[in-house]
Amino acid sequence: MQTYVALYADAVGRYGNVYGTAIDWPSFVDQLEEIGVEVIEDQTSDYDDINQLTADDMHEYDVVTVQELTTHTNAMLYL
């Protein structure tokens, strides 16, 4: 499994960054589209040593986990 960061857009056009793990980029895109966001681009390369960053580090960059996206943000998901 690899860690990826995606720029996403929600149903009302707000943008944000979300990270998570998947076998490959297309699988991560599928995972995000299943929860109701549109994936804009892969931003994984913008984060050096992404596998060494903690959740607190990612929050400092305003990047949330997939679970946080669905439960702790005001993202309007496509349903």
The domain segmentation of the chain, as residue ranges, is 2-71
Taking only the tens place, the pLDDT of each residue in 7-63 is 999 889 899 999 999 999 999 999 999 999 999 999 999 988 888 888 898 888 899
Under 8 Å between Cβ of 32 and 6: yes
pLDDT top residue among 37 and 78: 37
Please tell me the pTM assigned to this model: 0.88
pLDDT, residue 73, reads: 81
pLDDT, residue 70, reads: 87
Q: Tally DSSP H helices, then E strands, for the chain.
A: 3, 4
pLDDT, residue 79, reads: 61
